[in-house]
Amino acid sequence: MSNLQKEIYTYFQEHIQFHYNTNSAQKIREIDAIRELERNKYIVVTARYIDSVFAKVL
């Protein structure tokens, strides 16, 4: 698990909504990290929006 994935996973342990960074390059990294967390069954994404994502920790 990458550092970014760990940060996002830890964030989701306390929150249900994650707002993407406004920097497009960072946003892409965050989207990829969230997809990887979902693929590895650490989280379940419940909704995706252009500026944020909702998820639950498994």
What are the pLDDT digits (tens) for 13-53?
Answer: 999 999 999 999 999 999 999 999 999 999 999 999 999 99
* pLDDT higher than threshold 90 for residue 1: no
Q: Taking residues 6-10, what's their average pLDDT? A: 97
Task: State CA 47 to chain mean position distance.
Answer: 11
* pLDDT value of residue 20: 97
In this prediction the pTM is 0.92
Return d(Cα 52, Cα 2) in angstroms, integer: 20
The strands making up 43-48's β-sheet, listed across from edge to edge, are 17-19, 52-57, 43-48
What's the burial of 46, exposed, middle or buried (CB within 10 Å: 0-12/13-18/19+)? Answer: exposed
Among candidates 13, 4, 18, 14, which has minimal Cα distance to 54? Answer: 18
